[in-house]
């Protein structure tokens, strides 16, 4: 009854850990939900009001997206990237995840996925019937591939088309890619295009965040949306920015969109105009201030001679490595952590690492972001006392993880 292609697919591990955590809580267990990555902040109030005011919008919108929204996105991105994007370069979708899936379906070539990579890239590539090259990365390179490692793959068959997925700031590592210009030079040299997943870019803790599109816009598709910076994951609105040089890809995605999701919810598209036209820098800066402080707290208090970890650079993730020989796989290790401590993590193997590497993704979002945001001033220095007051489960969960790591 089922195609072989889908028989071995499993539910998205990020959604599954959320369901598992919820069920354990219903059983009366205290769970530290460090497994599911979701913004802890509410959607900005002016955007919520705009959604309410446009609830009456019930007509189908253009399949590429509402023209006013595409204009707003193009202007917003052009200012950020110092590149002249037009509304015609924008495709609005029901979350960037759906647009990525359509890209996998239409792309004819080989997919290059650096490990670690977001959990849905590989399954989508399989459904798109594309060959996938998993490129293992190293901690000393911020868990990103080097240009020479990418070139080595491409040189095996220079006549092929290649699509590299680059996610910076990265889920699951929380790191930012620092060798963009070198990678861009490889893209320019060969039949290589880049899907730059920048869904966490507004939450970069580094000054002067750069996109690979700054170095090769003609070979880069930017993917982002409302879910992370705007706290609107459940609204399901994302978009692609596709340069004129890749118009064939844009036009074909539009054709598939017309046969699949048709158009994104009208009220949400109208509300999104407000998100991109109005100044939300204060909201974003407060979000970054809180997330950076909490991420640094986790980093400083979890790292040890038993736990290797990189300092977070953006988003809301860290990727600790628990040095031990007790477990056969990172999945087994994370099951043990959940059973022993109540801390829910995702194993590194879900993100493309070999099972024997004892890596896990930790999401530091188990707190009431809105209360935290409301109780601090702009640019206020956040210390442990603030975290203890507004994010107590972070402190408790990290303490339990620390003690667990010392006991094995």
Q: What percent of the chain has pLDDT over 90?
A: 87
What is the mean pLDDT of the segment spanning 169-188? 97
- Name the residue among 363, 356, 343 with its Cα closest to residue 172: 363
The alpha carbon dihedral of 368, 369, 374, 380 has a sign of positive
Domain residue extents for the chain: 4-43+281-407, 59-277
Instruction: Give pLDDT, residue 328.
Output: 94
Report the alpha-carbon distance of residue 225 to residue 220 in Å, rounded. 16
- The CATH number fitting domain 4-43+281-407, selected from 3.90.1150.10, 3.40.50.620, 3.40.1190.20, 3.50.30.50: 3.90.1150.10
User: What value does the mean pLDDT of the chain take?
Assistant: 94
pLDDT band at residue 64 under the 50/70/90 scheme: very high
DSSP strands (E only) in 253-402? 307-308, 317-318, 321-322, 343-344, 346-347, 360-363
Report the alpha-carbon distance of residue 92 to residue 236 in Å, rounded. 10
What is the mean pLDDT of the segment spanning 384-408? 96
Instruction: Give pLDDT, residue 37.
Output: 86
Instruction: Give pLDDT, residue 12.
Output: 74
Instruction: Give pLDDT, residue 14.
Output: 74
Instruction: Give pLDDT, residue 205.
Output: 96
Q: Considering only the C-alpha atoms of the chain, give the largest distance between any 2 of them, rounded to a whole number of Å.
A: 59
What is the mean pLDDT of the segment spanning 396-404? 97
Residue 208, pLDDT above cutoff 90: no
Cβ atoms 209, 180 nearer than 8 A: no
Q: What is the DSSP letter of 380?
A: P
Report the alpha-carbon distance of residue 290 to residue 296 in Å, rounded. 10
- Name the residue among 175, 384, 360 with its Cα closest to residue 294: 384
Q: What is the DSSP letter of 376?
A: S
- Count how many Cα atoms sit within 13 Å of the Cα of residue 76 in the half-sphere of its side chain: 22
pLDDT band at residue 102 under the 50/70/90 scheme: very high
Residue 4, pLDDT above cutoff 80: no
User: By three-state DSSP, how is residue 302 classified?
Assistant: helix
Predicted structure pTM score: 0.94
- The CATH number fitting domain 59-277, selected from 3.40.640.10, 3.10.100.10, 3.40.50.300, 2.40.50.100: 3.40.640.10
pLDDT band at residue 379 under the 50/70/90 scheme: confident
Phi, psi of 125 (to 5 degrees): -65, -40
What is the bridge-based pairing of β-strands 192-197 and 162-167?
Answer: parallel
Report the alpha-carbon distance of residue 122 to residue 165 in Å, rounded. 10
- pLDDT single digits (tens) 305-350: 999 999 999 999 999 999 998 999 999 999 999 999 999 999 999 9
Instruction: Give pLDDT, residue 392.
Output: 97
- Name the residue among 225, 221, 222 with its Cα closest to residue 268: 225
Residue 1, pLDDT above cutoff 90: no
Cβ atoms 347, 333 nearer than 8 A: yes
Tell me whether domains 4-43+281-407 and 59-277 share a fold: no
**97-100 contact pairs (CB < 8 A, 24+):** 97/238, 98/238, 98/260, 98/261, 99/223, 99/238, 99/239, 99/240, 99/253, 100/124, 100/195, 100/197, 100/223
Report the alpha-carbon distance of residue 163 to residue 133 in Å, rounded. 10
Q: How far apart are the first and last CA of the chain?
A: 46
What is the mean pLDDT of the segment spanning 205-224? 94
């Amino acid at each position: 009854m089922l195609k072989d292609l889908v028989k071995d697919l499993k539910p998205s591990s990020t959604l599954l850990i959320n369901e598992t955590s919820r069920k354990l809580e219903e059983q009366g267990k205290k769970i530290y939900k460090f497994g599911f990555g979701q913004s802890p902040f509410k959607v900005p109030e002016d955007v919520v009001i705009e959604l309410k005011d446009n609830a009456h919008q019930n007509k189908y919108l253009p399949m590429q997206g509402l023209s006013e929204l595409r204009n707003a996105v193009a202007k917003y991105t052009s200012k950020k990237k110092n590149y002249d994007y037009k509304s015609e370069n924008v495709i609005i979708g029901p979350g960037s995840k759906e647009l990525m899936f359509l890209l996998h379906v239409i792309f004819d070539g080989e997919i290059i996925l650096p490990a670690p990579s977001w959990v849905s890239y590989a399954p989508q590539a399989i459904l798109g019937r594309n060959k996938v090259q998993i490129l293992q990365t190293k901690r000393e390179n911020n868990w990103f591939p080097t240009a020479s490692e990418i070139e080595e793959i491409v040189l095996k068959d220079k006549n092929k088309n290649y699509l590299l997925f680059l996610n910076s700031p990265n889920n699951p590592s929380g790191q930012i890619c620092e060798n963009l210009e070198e990678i861009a030079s490889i893209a320019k040299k060969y039949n290589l295009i880049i899907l730059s997943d920048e869904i966490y870019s507004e939450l970069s803790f580094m000054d002067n965040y750069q996109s690979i599109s700054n170095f090769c816009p003609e070979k880069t598709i930017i993917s982002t949306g409302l879910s992370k910076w705007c706290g609107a994951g459940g609204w399901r609105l994302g978009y692609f920015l596709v340069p004129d040089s890749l118009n064939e890809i844009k036009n074909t995605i539009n054709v598939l969109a017309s046969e699949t999701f048709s158009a994104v919810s009208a009220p949400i598209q109208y509300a999104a105009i407000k998100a991109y036209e109005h100044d939300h820098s204060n909201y974003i800066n407060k979000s970054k201030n809180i997330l950076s402080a909490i991420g640094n707290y986790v980093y400083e208090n979890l790292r040890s001679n038993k736990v290797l970890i990189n300092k977070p650079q953006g988003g809301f993730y860290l990727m600790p490595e628990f040095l031990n020989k007790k477990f056969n796989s990172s999945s087994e290790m994370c099951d043990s952590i959940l059973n022993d401590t109540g801390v829910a993590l995702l194993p590194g193997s879900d993100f493309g690492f070999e099972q024997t590497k004892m890596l896990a993704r930790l999401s530091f979002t188990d707190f009431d972001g809105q209360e935290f945001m409301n109780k601090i001033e702009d640019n206020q220095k956040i210390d442990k006392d603030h975290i203890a007051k507004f994010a107590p489960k972070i402190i408790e969960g990290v303490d339990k993880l620390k003690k667990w790591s010392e006991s094995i």
